[in-house]
Amino acid sequence: MVVGDFPIETDTLVVGAGPGGYVAAIRAAQLGQKVTIVEKGELGGVCLNVGCIPSKALISAGHRYAHAKHSEDIGITAENVKVDFTKVQEWKMSVVNKLTGGVDGLLKGNKVDIVKGEAYFVDENTVRVMDENSAQTYKFKNAIIATGSRPIEIPNFKFSKRVIDSTGALNLKEIPKKLVVIGGGYIGTELGTAYANFDTEVVILEAADDILSGFEKQMSSIVKRNLKKKGNVEIFTKAMAKGVQESEDGVVITYEVNGKEETVEADYVLVTVGRKANTDELGLDQVGVEMSERGIVNIDKQCRTSVSSIYAIGDIVEGPPLAHKASYEGKIAAEAIAGEASEIDYHGIPAVVFSEPELASVGYTEREAQDLGLDVATSKFPFAANGRALSLNSTDGFLKLVTRKEDGLLIGAQIAGPNASDMIAELGLAIEAGMTAEDIALTIHAHPTLGEITMEAAEVAIGNPVHIIK
């Protein structure tokens, strides 16, 4: 402790106010703890400010524009459809501001002390919080680290005015004429699709065998096909980005594909090859918190690190960098600190990509179940056989259930189709509740809705399909 610096005491100190941190802080306060949350940036973290929320706003705006221009097949023709991209960005920020303002109100309403600054761990019960002007010591009984992650910068592609990360892509002041995306994962696919819908020419370079490799090939192939159908998207797989030459008004990217070196010119190159855990400037190593070489913090089933008074959640622990995973872990950590028996169980955590069509998955895939030695059956129902999908003129895709053969227990589900991001919630609930395919089939679903597809797939699973031939 610095002379003259009297420490402030708190029960639970949360570092990071993203969807993991602020949820953890609120839950801890609800459980009677005196809580302090430290954030060096904006409340809401990456997700609310430069990730989940603004990207979905941009995607939504792109859909509106594309639908206005391309609805001739259902008898609607619009002329002179224009985009005022400045207004699009203003609207996007209004969405962000409403949500971040809401987080501020929720924290204050739960009597959480909000502190701006960077936290550095001094020992297992002490941190120093520093801003540009001052420093303050905080003593805590327990701490929850929720510092999130940042985009990975790859060799020869240093972030700059024209070499941008996802944050840069979301904050462009103009619609680029041409955009190269390095990385065909969920971020690259979502943002590439959004700009393609604004008529940007998009080139996706993916080092792996396919885009969206985290999903089954049956699902990602539908997305790839629809991207190519747009006419302004090119996808190169097994393509390695080698370097970039940057000028005032554009870039020239060199890449290798099929053993041949190629170049492509664009206004910007967007690098989306993964994210790195923000654990390197917290002083965790000197406190004794065990981490992997990648800076991933080791935790137990209650999110407790190797130091019993320190917990970790979100992108800095093992697992996919999902906002809802971080929020879930935040609740577990807060409850564990309060002495409850809460433990993490990732089986029911969904993964979603806001592509065209949307992709969503929960529980086990067929391959994952088989690898675990489970004897499973799968049942599929196509969106093309659903009245609501037909009326939406959006029939690409399917819903697949993975059930245990011995009793029909639902252990996994995958959806490729419109509103998959919303539909997956029912299947996540079914898995958590231990429901069988028969339980789902016996649940009356409103007509005409996309939700009926879930019921129809369950009817396929029990051998009584109505709207497709058995």
Q: Provide the 8-state DSSP code for 421.
A: H
d(CA 106, CA 108): 6
Beta bridge partners of 436: 409
The pair of three-digit structure tokens given for residue 335, joined into one six-digit string: 């409850």
Question: Token pair of 167, please?
Answer: 């944050």
Kind of pairing between the strands at 398-404 and 135-145: unpaired
Catalytic residue among 70, 324, 447, 467: 447
Q: What is the DSSP letter of 145?
A: E
Active site residue 63: no
CA-CA distance, 362 to 111, in Å (whole number)?
A: 35
Terminal-to-terminal C-alpha distance of the chain: 73
Closest among 237, 22, 222, 8 to 109, alpha carbons compared: 22
Q: What's the CA dihedral at 209, 210, 215, 221 to 10 degrees?
A: -130
Let me know if 19 is exposed, middle or buried by CB neighbors in 10 A (0-12, 13-18, 19+). buried
Q: What is the distance between the alpha carbons of residues 215 and 420, in angstroms, rounded to a whole number?
A: 13
Catalytic residue numbers read 447
